[in-house]
Chains A and B, each alone.
Chain A
């Protein structure tokens, strides 16, 4: 009886494990099926190299370059803000803060992760955008940079909690050895602990970026969604995610425009897949 139950439970868990892979596979399959359908009527060169996104024009133009650059700028901006902040925060929580403060800070960071993105977008549009417009004397506060700041807040919890794990899992004797050799606490942190935890740090940064690039709601509310070729962080941009979200409602099913949005989704999927792969490789590198 006990053996039967054991066997059953094992198989169910096995099934659940495979289910995840099956879902990813199916999502990729349907995305590719509709996304690649675009290229039956529209040239891949026009899609991947086109600099105009004008789906309602006659004939329509589906150039992904401005959208790709829009996503890239917002993501890079967010990374520039969240990575240094996240690393500093994780080191403080993992190494410097006293135990009671550590618990409070960890809870705070986790709470930050629980704020829905639409709330961040809402706060951004009413508080952040006017500040950015007035500080930089712009015509509008809805810019790539506004989106970056909001997204940085969404990436920080991911970065901090993973990085903090990596830092605290550095073997205790590394730290003790370093201190015993006469290194100061700070020297130990940046010469011993950070290098030892580096693969975890890289992975956490990559996952944080993966979170940012796929974010939709806050970006749509904050970046202005103008499909220009972005020249600076202080200009409105249109990201790939916002384009899909904003235009899906209007497209006629099975039309060229509909397929083009799936193609954009496919590109987005490829990018996040690559980012996750890099993060995974960084983690495995550590285990060797």
Chain B
């Protein structure tokens, strides 16, 4: 009996070592080429849709899409653990420097546009807010809906977590009103939720809640607000049309990054994304395509 247990333990102890030495490295590449895509959670579904269509045409390609946040994707690209990084914000200067240090000369491609919708509970009578009002709400200066023309109800501000490109975009363009290095901060009382769905879920349940999400995630359970650059309007609601003609103030580019000039299948994939068919998928996935922009 004891002997038997020892044998099992021995096998268990040695198995990781055996596993490592056998791991296939590169031998599968002869037949099919694996492309690792990583980054923005906003773009995961979009990337998946592109990948499925692309793989249907190129059976030799096998594309894996993972989320984790724009910063995660860029870090992975710099570390060489992914081929394409999807990002909903531009690379920071610090990250470009870090990439250079690691011998990576990154290329940026603008692949689609996303409009950020500001959302509230459907029962909320407030219909529109200016950027200044939004900034006051998210920095904690405005704490009750009656201060912006609503009911007497405390405001519950919801934000995405700090690893999200959407968070950074909202911080720079709404909370700091376009001044990227401005002094304004999200109030400590702002709830940081880990995903786009969590924001929709919480906004649809809490009457005092306000949050933001990419247009593609907005469902009928929440109400979208009109947003104006300056107090007094014009207030614009996020739609495909207003995002395309740039009248909606919270529209941001969605980007992909590669290390060096893309080659082989990676180049084919990016060409496909930028083609008419690739841009049609953008529209199907509720994002705004590039081409038609005024």
Chain A residues within 8 Å of B, Cβ to Cβ:
9, 12-13, 16, 52-58, 66, 125-126, 129-130, 133, 139-142, 220-221, 224-229, 236, 238, 246-255
Contact of A246 (CB < 8 Å), options: B161, B189, B209: B161
**A-side binding surface: helix, strand, loop or mixed?**
loop
Give A254 to B97 CA distance when docked, in angstroms.
Answer: 12
Q: Chain B 1-20 against A: per-residue CB contact (8 Å), 1 yes, 0 no?
A: 00000100110010000000
How many chain B residues sit at the interface, stated as a range, is 35 or more
Contact B69 A252 (CB under 8 A): no
**B-side binding surface: helix, strand, loop or mixed?**
mixed
Known interface pairs A56-B185, A224-B191, A225-B193. Does A139 touch B156 (Cβ–Cβ under 8 Å)? yes
Give A131 to B189 CA distance when docked, in angstroms.
Answer: 22
Give A125 to B189 CA distance when docked, in angstroms.
Answer: 19
Taking the complex as formed, is B183 at the interface, i.e. its CB lies under 8 A from any CB of chain A?
yes
Query: Which residues in chain B, 89-134, are within 8 Å of chain A measured between CB atoms?
Result: 92, 94-95, 98
Contact A56 B10 (CB under 8 A): no
Which residue of chain B lies nearest to A6 when distances are taken between CB atoms in the complex? B6
Contact of A139 (CB < 8 Å), options: B9, B94, B181, B206: B206
Contact A57 B185 (CB under 8 A): yes
Q: Which 4 pairs show the lowest CB-CB distances between chains A and B? A: A250-B71, A249-B163, A250-B163, A249-B72
Q: Closest CB-CB distance, A209 to chain B, in whole Å?
A: 24
Give A288 to B250 CA distance when docked, in angstroms.
Answer: 69
Q: Closest CB-CB distance, B16 to chain A, in whole Å?
A: 11
What are 17 A-B contacts defined by CB distance under 8 Å? A12-B10, A16-B13, A54-B185, A56-B171, A58-B181, A140-B156, A140-B191, A220-B194, A224-B191, A225-B193, A226-B190, A227-B192, A238-B192, A246-B192, A248-B163, A249-B72, A250-B70
Q: Chain B 148-165 against A: per-residue CB contact (8 Å), 1 yes, 0 no?
A: 000000101000011110
Contact A236 B191 (CB under 8 A): yes
A13 contact set on B, CB distance < 8 A:
9
Known interface pairs A130-B205, A247-B163. Does A226 touch B72 (Cβ–Cβ under 8 Å)? no
Contact B98 A247 (CB under 8 A): no
Known interface pairs A246-B162, A250-B69. Does A221 touch B189 (Cβ–Cβ under 8 Å)? no
Q: Closest CB-CB distance, A81 to chain B, in whole Å?
A: 23
Taking the complex as formed, is B261 at the interface, i.e. its CB lies under 8 A from any CB of chain A?
no
Taking the complex as formed, is B208 at the interface, i.e. its CB lies under 8 A from any CB of chain A?
yes
Known interface pairs A125-B198, A246-B162, A252-B98. Does A66 touch B205 (Cβ–Cβ under 8 Å)? no
B181 contact set on A, CB distance < 8 A:
58
Known interface pairs A58-B183, A225-B193, A252-B95. Does A139 touch B6 (Cβ–Cβ under 8 Å)? no
Contact of B161 (CB < 8 Å), options: A16, A57, A247: A247
Contact B161 A251 (CB under 8 A): no
Give A57 to B188 CA distance when docked, in angstroms.
Answer: 12
Give A227 to B191 CA distance when docked, in angstroms.
Answer: 8
Give A90 to B28 CA distance when docked, in angstroms.
Answer: 53
B163 contact set on A, CB distance < 8 A:
246-250
A225 contact set on B, CB distance < 8 A:
161, 191-194
Contact A52 B188 (CB under 8 A): yes
Q: Closest CB-CB distance, A17 to chain B, in whole Å?
A: 11
A12 contact set on B, CB distance < 8 A:
10, 13
B202 contact set on A, CB distance < 8 A:
140, 142
Q: Closest CB-CB distance, B102 to chain A, in whole Å?
A: 10
A16 contact set on B, CB distance < 8 A:
13
Taking the complex as formed, is B253 at the interface, i.e. its CB lies under 8 A from any CB of chain A?
no
Q: Closest CB-CB distance, A2 to chain B, in whole Å?
A: 11
A249 contact set on B, CB distance < 8 A:
68-69, 71-72, 75, 163
